[in-house]
A and B are shown apart, each in its own frame.
Chain A
Amino acid sequence: MIAFLIKRLMHAFVVMFVISVISFAIQSNLGDPIQQMVGQSVPESQRAELREELGLNDSFLVQYGRFATNALQGDFGYSYFFNEPTTEVIQRHLPATLELVIAATLIIVVFSVPIGVYCAIRPRSALSRFFMSVSIIGISIPVFLTAIMLIQLFAIGVDFSPFPVDTGWGQWLNGVLSTEGGMPSYGRGNDLTHLFGTWDSNFFSLDGLTYLVLPAVSLASIMLPLFIRLIRAEMLEVLQSEYVKFATAKGISLKRIYFVHALKNTMLPVITVGGVQLGTMVAYTILTETVFQWPGMGLMFLEAIQRSDIPLIVTYLMIVGLIFVVTNTLVDLIYGLVNPTVKLTGKPA
């Protein structure tokens, strides 16, 4: 266990090192940060002065050396745009992203397990077919499109009237197709609950939760169908296995077979995939946060790219790398707990 953790720690260091070198290497292609900082009519001499001041004229090795030395001491530099240490900027944006990911994860867990199990138990029922076809659509629509559709339906509202208004059924049909809107379409709202430090939460007030719903649903929209299909497929396989057949023959109640014996074995691969997907979800927050103007790390990162805010970009990439390493480590640990036959250190048993 300890050996495993130490190995993972070294793993993390290597990942961070590689990320920092790569992001530093591409910075010259990200554009000139000076261009973003000065007005159009500022003469070249002024720009050169500023460039020198920021150390942008030094060679790659000198710049990287300076960065690495400082980074090892926990100093990742100043954001050009926020005029603050990048770690502080990220700390401020991190809670919003984490809350979004947590909310999306909750949605995924709450819906994917029962629906997936149901679809496996009753594979031929009409409802199962319906879930399956909807999930196909869900997988194939890009996140930002889902987000824009949600905004149109639930924030702006749709006034649909192709059917005759003077008849009862026409009015009813129009009513079904139209929506009122009214959900908030951007930001986190004003009614945040302060937890600690830079963490303001959306989870503790009704107003906060309404702001959370649409972004969380669109973020979940990609993963939810994926998990439904995964759970269904795994469950189907487990239900075909010998021990389930044996248990059925022994007369154990179906409920117990489905939800205790089968589900447990179904969840193993789901946890592995889930852990990896959690990291991916952090990447998807970039799209969701942009559409909903959710003030988290994803939006911050995209804007940092537009502003060529190199120190902030590098720090963000390193932190996301760290999140990947940490979630993968956790997944491996949980996997070991759920299935004790798995050997973490990979030594021969």
Chain B
Amino acid sequence: MIDKKTLLASLLGASVVLPLPALAQDSASDSDPVTLRMAYDADPVSLDIHEQLSGGILQLSHLTHDPLVRWTKDVKFEPRLAADWERIDDKTMRFTLRDGVKFHTGNDFTAKDVVWTINRLKRSADFKAIFDPIASATAIDEHTVEIKTHKPYPLVLNLATYIFPMDSEYYSGETEDGDPKDEIVKNGDSFASRHSSGTGPYEVVSRQQGVKVEFERFDDYWDKDSPGNVDRLVLTPIGENATRVSALLSGDVDFIAPVPPNDLDRVRADKNVELTTMSGTRIILMQLNQKRVEAFEDPRVRKAFNYAVNQQAIADRLMKGFATPAAQLSPKGYEGYNDSLEPRYDVEKAKELMKEAGYEDGFSVSMMAPNNRYVNDAKIAQAVATMLSRINVDVDLKTLPKAQYWGEFDDRAADIMMIGWHADTEDSANLFQYLTECPDPETGAGQYNAANYCNPELDEKVAQANVETDRAKRAEMLQAVEKALYDDAAFMPLHWQDLAWAAKKNVKLEPVVNVMNFPYLGDLVVEQ
């Protein structure tokens, strides 16, 4: 830490002392260095990209490392460090790696780094579950890797978007304290949490947790076709929404994310900045606990609840158009997305269904929602509670800060609970596994199924889809599951949260942002 500081200080000092002609020479060869100052709501918790599975870490991964394949804007696969891939059989996938790629340390990138990285991922507490299906990874030669799965597994490419090869040579051996350099430490110091060497477009120059991270473009970055022209990135975490927006509007930073919905109009109105929005993939929904409330076992009641809630109104008024009303779990672009499903809203019909089920006079339920986790979460819960009162359901709503909410959620402490979910694998099966499958503490299925909804038949279908490597066939199966869940009104879908970024006019954000919310800043063009 001290070393870094003195180094930085002397660099700064040197740049001041340096005679001007030397600087002029530098800038004569190529145009002035481009700096992008950006403000996110948080900074990555660590430089170790395997320490935590979170949006912040994935955003970092795309700066300092490069994945084998990555998602395109329309949720398709794009080759990165893997130039090509081929399915050998049901359980084997062969990746051909790009030639001439270098790590930040100058080491060559080869197949053994990929194997090393996959083995490390399988040890990481956060990534272990995702990489469970993988049986082994073998280096066939310098530039070929074979990944074998336990069972036929259709999502190998989805997993490959998480494989950001790390510099195996750099992370081998022991530190001065005798700790292995490749250890993954959640709470405490480790070599990997302070040092980083990947193949990505940017190297970390300095980092002060919670204050600032500085990146510089990697000279030997393999992707020479990338139009990216940003030489230096400065990331400042600004947690306070209003301050983040002010920092952009006052010109202190060039790029902010996320843009809080309440400030969208303010950002739009400013002529110096540009707002980019996109429908997101995080679904917000309410779960009706069948174990706590007998009435929720009746699909007619669950349907009535769905018909009583006006998702369009929530998306339009509460979210100011910053959400896409949902009728299912899978967002557009996912294989399970079933375009025949429409949001339900019809209060008369809801009343009828309640009457049919014998609850004409309604009943009382408790509801819990976080108040600082999702956009407008507490207000949404309030709106839903009000809408339910129209079918004589009396809701006792309690909202909590997220730090306290999750404990209550794990305890299934209320009859109706709010949750938002984004599938780590960008795949529908992940949504079903966590949110609607019969809860099973052994396998972890239904870990977030606070509805205690259980339909073994559907679980079986999801399991079958998960060994179906024919993508078209698989999509059909998953869409059928969505339809069945919809008909059964297993939960109350509300909307997919939209995404928003804002930047100065000369920062060409639009081409590099995506629904996964990790902008490919390596390809970012800033016009001078």
A interface, CB within 8 angstroms of B? 29-32, 35-44, 46, 49-50, 53-54, 78, 80-84, 148, 151-152, 155-157, 181-187, 194, 290-293, 295, 300, 303, 305-308
Across the interface, do A32 and B406 meet the contact criterion of CB distance under 8 Å?
A: yes
Task: Give A29 to B407 CA distance when docked, in angstroms.
Answer: 10
Residues of A within 8 A of B434 (CB): 41
Q: Is there an interface contact between B187 and A295, defined as CB atoms closer than 8 Å? A: no
Q: Mark B124-158, 1 if CB is under 8 A from A, else 0.
A: 01101110000000000000000000000000000
Which listed segment binds A: B172-180, B245-253, B485-493, B495-503? B245-253
Does the CB pair A35–B403 fall under 8 Å? yes
Q: Determine if A186 and B243 form an interchain contact, defined as CB atoms under 8 angstroms apart.
A: yes
User: Does B61 interact with chain A (Cβ within 8 Å)?
Assistant: no
Tell me the complex Cα distance, A307–B372, Å. 12
A78→B187 contact, CB < 8 A? yes
A16 to B407, CA, bound (A): 30
Residues of A within 8 A of B46 (CB): 83
Give the Cβ gap from B493 to chain A, nearest Cβ, in Å. 18
Taking A41-B424, A44-B441, A50-B187 as given, write out 15 further A-B residue pairs in contact, using a Cβ cutoff of 8 Å, ordered by the A residue number: A37-B52, A38-B186, A40-B421, A40-B424, A41-B53, A41-B126, A41-B434, A50-B125, A83-B46, A186-B243, A187-B252, A194-B9, A291-B240, A295-B210, A300-B210
**Given that A44-B441, A83-B188 are contacting pairs, would A151 and B52 also be in contact in the complex, using a CB cutoff of 8 Å?**
no
Interface pair B211/A39, CB less than 8 Å apart: no
Collect the chain A residues with CB atoms within 8 Å of residue B227's CB: none
B364 close to A (CB within 8 Å): no
Tell me, rounded to whole Å, the shortest Cβ–Cβ distance linking A305 to chain B. 8
Chain A residues with Cβ below 8 Å from B189 are 83-84
Residue in B39, B250, B403 whose beta carbon sits within 8 Å of that of A30 in the complex: B403
Q: Is the CB of A31 within 8 A of B236?
A: no
Q: How large is the interface on B (under 10, 10 to 19, 20 to 34, 35 or more residues)?
A: 35 or more
| Given A291-B243, A293-B236, A308-B403, residue A42 in contact with residue B187 (CB < 8 A) | no
If the complex has contacts A37-B186, A38-B126, A155-B250, are A44 and B447 also in contact, measured as CB distance less than 8 A? yes
On chain B, the residues within 8 Å of A54 by CB distance are 187
What are the residues of chain A within 8 A of B185 when measuring CB–CB? 83
- State A53–B249 Cα separation when bound (angstroms): 45
Q: How far is the CA of A202 from the CA of B211 in the complex (A)?
A: 16
Interface string of B427-469 (1 = CB under 8 A from A): 0001000100000010010011000000000000000000000
Contact A290–B240 (Cβ < 8 Å): yes
- Give which listed residue, B243, B250, B403, contacts A31 with CB less than 8 A: B403
Whether A38 contacts B125 by the Cβ 8 Å rule is yes
12 CB-based A-B contacts, threshold 8 Å: A31-B405, A35-B402, A39-B52, A40-B448, A43-B444, A187-B236, A187-B252, A293-B247, A295-B211, A305-B403, A306-B402, A306-B403
Give the distance in Å from the alpha carbon of A186 to the alpha carbon of B209 in the complex: 16
Binding site for A on B (CB under 8 A): 9, 39, 45-46, 52-54, 125-126, 128-130, 185-189, 193, 209-211, 236, 238-240, 242-243, 246-247, 249-252, 372, 401-407, 421, 424, 430, 434, 441, 444, 447-448
A41 close to B403 (CB less than 8 A): no
A43 to B53, CA, bound (A): 13
A82 cross-chain contacts in B, Cβ below 8 A: 209-210
Complex CA gap A307/B211 in Å reads: 16
Chain A residues whose CB sits within 8 angstroms of the CB of B249 once the complex forms = 156
The docked-state distance in angstroms from the alpha carbon of A38 to that of B188 is 14
Whether B401 contacts A31 by the Cβ 8 Å rule is yes
Output the least CB separation between A107 and chain B (Å). Answer: 21
Residue from B188, B238, B242 within 8 A of A148 (CB atoms): B242
Q: What distance in Å separates the Cβ of B164 from its nearest Cβ neighbour in chain A?
A: 15
Q: Contact at A185–B125, with CB atoms within 8 Å?
A: no
Which A residue's beta carbon lies closest to that of B408?
A31
Q: Are A36 and B403 in contact (CB under 8 A)?
A: yes
A42 touches B125 (CB 8 A): yes
A36 to chain B: which residues have CB within 8 Å?
Answer: 403
| Assembly CA distance A194 to B5 (angstroms) | 11
Residues of A within 8 Å of B424, CB to CB, are: 39-41
Cα A151 to Cα B210 in complex, Å, equals 22
Contacts of B242 in A (CB 8 A): 148, 291
CB distance from B419 to the nearest CB of A (A): 10
In the bound complex, residues from chain B placing their C-beta under 8 Å from that of A148 are 242, 246
Contact of B406 among A31, A41, A184, A295 (CB under 8 A): A31
- B212: shortest Cβ distance to chain A, in Å? 8
> For residue A300, which residue of chain B has the nearest CB?
B210
Give Cα distance in the complex from A290 to B39, angstroms. Answer: 14
Taken together as a complex, chains A and B put the C-alpha atoms of A196 and B136 apart, in Å, by 52
Nearest chain B CB to A306's CB is how many angstroms away? 7
Q: How far is the CB of A38 from chain B (nearest CB, A)?
A: 6
* Complex CA–CA separation, A182 to B249 (angstroms): 10
B246 and A186 contact, CB distance less than 8 A? yes
Minimum distance in angstroms from B296 CB to a CB of chain A: 24
Given contacts A38-B125, A44-B444, contact A155 B252 (CB under 8 A): yes
CA separation between A300 and B407, bound complex, in Å?
A: 24
A-side contacts of B250, CB under 8 Å: 151, 155-157, 181-185
For residue B448, which residue of chain A has the nearest CB?
A: A40
A292 and chain B: residue at smallest CB distance? B243
Q: Using CB atoms, name the residue of chain B closest to A84.
A: B189
| CB-nearest residue of chain A to B422 | A40
Does the CB pair A42–B441 fall under 8 Å? no
Task: Name the B residues within 8 Å of A39 (CB-CB).
Answer: 52-54, 126, 424
Residues of A within 8 A of B444 (CB): 43-44
Max count, chain B CB within 10 A of own CB: residue among A30, A83, A148, A290:
A83
Q: Tell me the nearest residue of chain A to B54, going by C-beta.
A: A39
**How many angstroms between the C-alpha atoms of A274 and B372 in the bound complex?**
36
Return chain B residues, CB-CB under 8 Å to A155. 246, 250, 252
State whether A293 and B404 are in contact (beta carbons under 8 Å apart), knowing that A41-B129, A83-B188, A156-B250 are contacts in the complex.
no
CB pair B403–A184 under 8 Å, yes or no, is no
Q: In the complex, what residue of chain B is closest to A154 when comparing beta carbons?
A: B250
- The residue in chain A whose Cβ has the minimal distance to the Cβ of B240 is A290
Task: State the CA gap A291–B245 with chains docked (Å).
Answer: 11
Answer whether A43 and B129 are a contact pair too, CB < 8 Å, given A82-B209, A308-B403. Answer: yes
Among B52, B130, B246, the one with the most A-chain Cβ atoms within 10 Å of its Cβ is B246
Nearest CB in chain B: distance from A285 CB, A:
14
Q: How far is the CB of B78 from chain A (nearest CB, A)?
A: 24
> CA separation between A38 and B444, bound complex, in Å?
15
Q: Identify the closest chain A residue to B406 (Cβ).
A: A35
Given contacts A43-B129, A155-B252, contact A185 B403 (CB under 8 A): no
In the docked arrangement, what's the CA distance between A182 and B46, Å?
Answer: 33
Tell me the bound Cα distance from A156 to B252 in angstroms: 9
A35-B403, A39-B126, A43-B444 known; A293 and B188 CB under 8 Å?
Answer: no
Complex: how many Å from CA A30 to CA B249?
A: 35
Which of B242, B243, B434 has the most A CB atoms < 10 Å from its CB? B243
- Using A41-B424, A43-B129 as known contacts, say yes or no to A186 and B238 having CB atoms under 8 A apart: yes
- A295 CA / B52 CA spacing, docked (Å): 24
Q: Please give me the residue from chain B that is nearest to A50 by CB atom.
A: B186
In Å, the complex CA distance between A35 and B406 comes to: 7
B52 with A38: CB separation less than 8 A = yes
Q: Report chain A residues within 8 Å CB of B128.
A: 46
Known contacts A36-B403, A81-B45; is-contact A185 B52 (Cβ 8 Å): no
Contact A293 B243 (CB under 8 A): yes
Task: Assess whether A83 is in contact with B187, with CB atoms less than 8 Å apart.
Answer: yes
Bound complex: CA of A300 vs CA of B447, how far in Å? 32
Task: Tell me whether B246 and A185 are in contact (CB under 8 A).
Answer: yes
List A contacts of B246 (CB < 8 A): 148, 151-152, 155-156, 185-186
Contacts of A293 in B (CB 8 A): 236, 238-240, 243, 247
Contact assessment for A185 and B252 in the assembled complex, using a CB-CB cutoff below 8 Å? yes
Given that A44-B444, A46-B125, A194-B9 are known contacts, is A185 also in contact with B54, CB under 8 Å in the complex?
Answer: no
CA distance A200 to B193 in the complex (A): 25
